[in-house]
Structure 1
Amino acid sequence: MEPAVTDPQAVTRLARRLEPLHSMIYFAPEVGSELAELGITHPRAQYFAQRSAAMGAVGPGVVAATYFNFNPALIARFVPGIWSAASPADVLNARMRAVDGALRRLLGDAVSSRECERASVLARRATEACRPEDRVLYAAHADLPWPDEPHLVLWHAATLLREYRGDGHLHALLGAGLPGLEALILHVSTGRGFLPEFAQASRGWSAEQWGEASAGLRSRGLVDASGSITDEGTALRESIEAETSRLSSAPSASLGADAAELGELAGGLTRTILAAGAFPDGVFATGSERATAAR
């Protein structure tokens, strides 16, 4: 059972400051180059390979279940075929090499700074409070060995914390009666996350599927005719966020007062990678969570 959370917003804020330090890898050219050398060349195949490799040579059903908001038909185009090109172990090694190169490029001198080293210590300590029960993506990554260098320790810890929270978020979404596509549309309707066009295309949904799910959200009063989130939708999202933080509060609670220090350190490092262009234009809406994560 998760410990009590005195400030759920602080839990969310820490997660948002750490998350870009992990997710920059999905946009880093280094990972594309590394996986292409293994024979995995399609950008979507590269994404599915690098994120699911910790689970082993799983099939499309497992990937769809753990990713939640991707069209299963899109996943099935690439999984399990990716494993005929490269083994999960080779993919994981390639990914870590890419993480090393990307963080050295994006952080510059900060990659070997005291701040990065201290953040790595605190973030790793936070992961010690995570429990694996019913947290599939977290548990798979938690089985991987820890790297040695501080910037890689920080990335791995941010990955564990991100997947731990993500697994809990799926529980909250399902509890609120939101399947994957509806959850994705409600997220973009806020104007603070993925741009709708990018979300629909990258997750593999057709215009018809997107329209049908949008109609379902309108019928529940969660979005309006223009596709913008309503007051009811905002209230639902806030309740989901609060439940996600409750389910994912153990790492922050375990740090106590040091959680604030980790947030400050992660915020500074996130500002550095954002300034270095870690995320391309045309992906996130103005005022998105990526842009505000370091605040």
Structure 2
Amino acid sequence: MDHGQFAELAAAAHRATDSLHAMLYFAPEAEEELTAAGLRPGRMSYFASRAAAMGPVGPGVVTATFYNFNPELVARHIPRAWSLASPDSILEARFRAAGTALQRLLGDAASGAEVAEAAELAREATRGCVPEGRPLYAAHAELDWPEEPLLVLWHAITLLREFRGDGHIAALVSAGVDGLTALVTHTATGRGFTESGAQASRGWTVEQWTAAVRSLQDRGLLDADGALTSEGQALRERVEAATNEAATGPWRHLGVERTQRLREIGKDLSKRVVAAGAFPAELFGR
């Protein structure tokens, strides 16, 4: 398998497994556990639970590492969250929520042999990650591993996701794409968030979004209808190619055969969580 094919395999493995991590951000169990720990429901719980591994950091650090959120939205919740609950208690609540949510979404499969096998494979893949230049990954990589296979799988996918995400931000920065521009152009691809879902979840006003669209139109990256031009598509393709390239380390460590096996199991498990209603249709247009 040549370098380009391995980068494509890295992207495919990510797509196959990511839902098993991302389901947490929409699970009622997360809000229940995190509010019980002292946080306010909604955005505060999200920002604090994902950032807690870095300690009680300020809004600038969260905005920088999360990248495409409106800094004003982040500042409404961070650092106040740390006065309501400690990072350690937040992390404990997050792990409990992940386990409970996956148990509900996967049913009997949550304790099955495939989850145990996928957990071993995903954990092994993380041994191919390196912390340099990956701040959010590095913070989560310093947490203790859970013992239950279901949570081992979730934590391993979390590490792989944040490792890839840090590399994606580096690719965006290198391409001169700021957080809002990244969000607008990604939404224009028709994958991921709907436009209204992106604005609502990331805290951008209609005015801010419209100004970004106009700027991208002036730069020739969006056409008059807000669709990507050929130049805009080429920009997104360069960013994705650089992201895939930077994400190959753990999958090269795991090897082609085991990566394909994890992808196979991950696709099956991800289909189960999606079918169980893990993600809201109004955000993703399903």
In the TM superposition, 1:117-266 aligns within 5 A as 117-256=116-255, 257-266=257-266
Shift of 1:232: 1.7
Query: Per-residue displacement from partner, 1:186-227 (whole Å, max 9, x unpaired)?
Result: 000111110111111211112221111111211222111111
In structure 2, how many angstroms separate the alpha carbons of the residues matched to 1:154 and 1:227? 39
In structure 1, how many angstroms separate the alpha carbons of the residues matched to 2:200 and 2:74? 13
Contact 1:5 1:249 in 2 (8 A): no
In structure 2, how many angstroms separate the alpha carbons of the residues matched to 1:217 and 1:187? 12
2:65 alignment partner in structure 1: 66
2:18 alignment partner in structure 1: 19
User: Which residue identity is paired with 2:283?
Assistant: V
Runs of 4+ with deviation above 4 angstroms? none
Q: Which range is displaced more, 233-242 or 18-27?
A: 233-242
Query: Per-residue displacement from partner, 1:152-200 (whole Å, max 9, x unpaired)?
Result: 0000000000000000000111111100000000000111110111111
Contact 2:70 2:204 in 1 (8 A): yes
1:113 alignment partner in structure 2: 112
TM-score (norm 2): 0.97
Contact 1:218 1:225 in 2 (8 A): yes
SS in 2 for 1:282: helix
In structure 2, how many angstroms separate the alpha carbons of the residues matched to 1:118 and 1:232? 43
Shift of 1:230: 1.8
User: Which residue identity is paired with 2:51?
Assistant: S
2:273 alignment partner in structure 1: 273
Does structure 1 residue 92 correspond to structure 2 residue 91? yes
TM-score (norm 1): 0.94
Contact 2:128 2:254 in 1 (8 A): no
Counting aligned pairs with the same residue, the percent is 52
Contact 1:5 1:253 in 2 (8 A): no
In structure 2, how many angstroms separate the alpha carbons of the residues matched to 1:146 and 1:4? 31
Shift of 1:6: 3.6
Shift of 1:255: 1.3
In structure 2, how many angstroms separate the alpha carbons of the residues matched to 1:39 and 1:123? 32
User: Which residue identity is paired with 2:107?
Assistant: G
Contact 1:17 1:263 in 2 (8 A): yes
In structure 2, how many angstroms separate the alpha carbons of the residues matched to 1:20 and 1:247? 21
Contact 2:23 2:278 in 1 (8 A): yes
* Equivalent residue pairs, number: 284
For the aligned residues, what is the CA RMSD? 1.2
Contact 1:120 1:153 in 2 (8 A): yes
In structure 2, how many angstroms separate the alpha carbons of the residues matched to 1:201 and 1:120? 34
SS in 1 for 2:281: coil
User: Which residue identity is paired with 1:48?
Assistant: F
Contact 2:21 2:157 in 1 (8 A): yes
Contact 2:6 2:248 in 1 (8 A): no
In structure 2, how many angstroms separate the alpha carbons of the residues matched to 1:262 and 1:37? 34
User: Which residue identity is paired with 2:40?
Assistant: T
User: Which residue identity is paired with 1:133?
Assistant: E
In structure 1, how many angstroms separate the alpha carbons of the residues matched to 2:156 and 2:165? 14
Structure 2 runs not aligned, ≥5 long: none
In structure 2, how many angstroms separate the alpha carbons of the residues matched to 1:7 and 1:156? 23
In structure 1, how many angstroms separate the alpha carbons of the residues matched to 2:269 and 2:278? 12
In structure 2, how many angstroms separate the alpha carbons of the residues matched to 1:279 and 1:129? 30
Q: Which range is displaced more, 164-173 or 235-244?
A: 235-244
Query: Per-residue displacement from partner, 1:120-175 (whole Å, max 9, x unpaired)?
Result: 00000000010000100000000000000111000000000000000000011111
In structure 1, how many angstroms separate the alpha carbons of the residues matched to 2:285 and 2:174? 27
In structure 2, how many angstroms separate the alpha carbons of the residues matched to 1:186 and 1:247? 21
User: Which residue identity is paired with 2:247?
Assistant: S
In structure 2, how many angstroms separate the alpha carbons of the residues matched to 1:268 and 1:230? 35
